Structure 1
């Protein structure tokens, strides 16, 4: 399918090419209504400026773009390092674009000279993805299930992870279980929480919505959420599932500050198995997320599409529960 050009925008908007160019480049010579009209037409047509004036397919660049919203935290440290090393292994340069603006991301993907893109950016929505597929840009999504001829997905099976943590706590006799969510619009947070809730339901165990906190995958936010919960005087759960290890660390620090001991008074379990989880006190029981493997497989999948060896497919990686010292038997359960 042909890419939308500036001529197409001009024809659809009923203006000249120079008027479209002025509107897109913010040149202050147009009436505001004309500028607004042109920009609306350009967006509706999914027009993306070619920043280099060259078609992406004109030549191989040996450059891969990684589009991400943040590099904050040990998860992203490991992921980006794995992707970078794998690109270098195959003779590719990695360019990292940190943005929360979908138009900026699309402009870089379609306009700059990269051979393909790895996307871990939730701001690139369904319409944006359709534009990428229409342009047949080689894409691999991380933690988003999307597959076409030129797009693939590599995801961690967070749903199973949610099931694993719930089953482990249930087997320890815990029934009053709390949960600290990350961001409820992100794939991994949605899947982890869904697996957790489904497993409680299967076991006939209810979930008290008052025990649902939000920690945004961050230590400080989780600390504040748990601290406020304890200060509220509400009944403390027997156990808490944290959406990632950083949230678990913030949770435990907040509990300790209130004189509540882990795992003596409450069990804490989480996800990802970052390096710090093994050395924290107490060491965290957590679901191992094969982050390095995920990064390597992402690059391998993308290069397969770029080189025409494979079409897009879904790769789902499994984790495993790493049992350490942050969980214990529910002291209120009679052991026979």
Structure 2
């Protein structure tokens, strides 16, 4: 069966080809009655617009690329969903590229198959890759790097303040020996949460020793194993409290101390970040920082669209978190 063309639609509707084109692109130049009639004709003869030709003519793919080495977990579920919905509302699609291979990421980033890109990867997209992005004038939003240029924006959580505020809360509860379970060492959030933790302790003159830092890698099992290995021999000082870089590490830490015979929060207070769905149902319910993840995704799209449409140059935004007070932290009994 012969494929219907735009000429066929124009002939059946009794209008010009340009009128059909304007109608199918929702142009205000065509009145609603004519527009509806043309759409009905197009559907009746099963006309499918040639999007490749349209994109070449407009020099737009109507697609945004999202690049990351992972999209697993609570954060990425909300982030990707919020970006997808905001882009769909604007008539754009979202193409997710997941790879730990720097060459794969770079070739896709530089392919110019996208009108703009959003990146969550500090390790594989380094200074050299950023320079290539700038040279090629690719409209870009970073989610894990604080920077802005003419064609580059970033949307980040204010992780320093959240780390500082969470640690100050534990200090207010009377805790002095406070440890920190780190996430992935390359990520902005981990570094800033750690920096906030250190700043809060130094502000009161508290000692911050190297042995106060544990490895959690943002994973429950990793945090669990490191806590068990440190404390099972009984020759390592038990902390008053622990700040974990995310809720998965918090849960792993609590499970480890439970196995070692310690109770949270009666013996040790443990707090985290992200307010994942299970945080309120876990026992004890987690005291944690809730970040506006959906807002981050929406703002990333908004800033990218502003650059694509040349309505604004690149900028950097920091979104504030909120401490959610639950049961995993309590005042120290002296």
TM-score, normalised with respect to structure 1: 0.80
Alignment partner of 1:150 is 2:147: no
Higher Cα Rg, which structure: 2
**Alignment deviations for residues 223-259 of structure 1 (CA, whole Å, 9 cap, x no partner):** 1111112213112100000000010011111111122
Does the 8 Å CA contact 2:117/2:139 hold for their aligned counterparts?
A: yes
**3-state SS of 1:300 partner:** helix
Q: Counterpart in 1 of 2:197?
A: 196
Q: CA deviation at 1:67?
A: 0.1
Within the alignment, does 1:235 sit opposite 2:237 as a pair? yes
Match status 1:305 vs 2:307: yes
- CA-CA distance at 1:272 after TM superposition: 1.0
Among 328, 331, 336, the alignment partner of 2:330 is: 328
- Structure 2 portions without partners, runs of 5+: 1-51
Q: In the alignment, what sits opposite 2:263?
A: 261
Q: Give yes or no for contact 1:139–1:152 (8 Å, CA) kept in 2.
A: yes
Structure 1 residue 278: Cα displacement: 1.1
* Map 1:53-132 → 2, pairs under 5 A: 59-122=59-122, 123-132=124-133
C-alpha contact 1:284 1:325 (8 A) present in aligned 2? yes
**Which 5+ residue runs of structure 1 have no aligned equivalent?**
1-51
Give the distance between the partners of 2:299 and 2:112, measured in 1 at CA.
24
SS of match in other structure, 1:264: coil
- After superposition, what is the alpha-carbon deviation per residue over 1:128-156, rounded to whole angstroms, capped at 9, x for unaligned? 10110111110000020121111100000
After superposition, give the CA deviation of every residue in 1:168-222 in whole Å (9 maximum; x if it has no partner).
0000000001110012221111100001101100111112321210010001101
Alpha carbons 1:56, 1:115 under 8 Å: kept: no
Number of residue equivalences: 279
Report the alpha carbon displacement of residue 112 of structure 1 after superposing the two structures with TM: 4.4
When normalised by structure 2's length, the TM-score is 0.81
The equivalences for 1:209-220 within 5 A come to 209-220=210-221
> Could you tell me whether the CA contact under 8 Å between 1:288 and 1:321 is conserved in 2?
yes
- Distance across 2 between alignment mates of 1:90 and 1:195: 37
Equivalent residue for 2:252, pick from 250, 256, 261: 250
Aligned to 2:47: none
Distance in 1, matches of 2:187 and 2:110, equals 24
How far off is 1:109 after superposition?
1.6
Query: Distance between the aligned counterparts of 2:142 and 2:57, measured in 1?
Result: 20
Partner in structure 2 of residue 205 of structure 1: 206
Distance in 1 (alpha carbons) for counterparts of 2:126 and 2:306? 24
Question: Matches of 2:127 and 2:264 in 1, distance apart?
Answer: 43
Q: Does structure 1 conserve the Cα–Cα contact (< 8 Å) formed by 2:121 and 2:144?
A: no
Runs of 4 or more off by more than 6 Å in structure 1? 55-58
User: Aligned Cα RMSD in Å?
Assistant: 1.6
Deviation of the 1:309 alpha carbon: 0.9
Question: How many angstroms apart in 2 are the aligned matches of 1:189 and 1:222?
Answer: 14
Q: Which digits, 9 at most, give the CA deviation of each residue in 1:285-314, with x for residues without a partner?
A: 011111111111111111111111111000
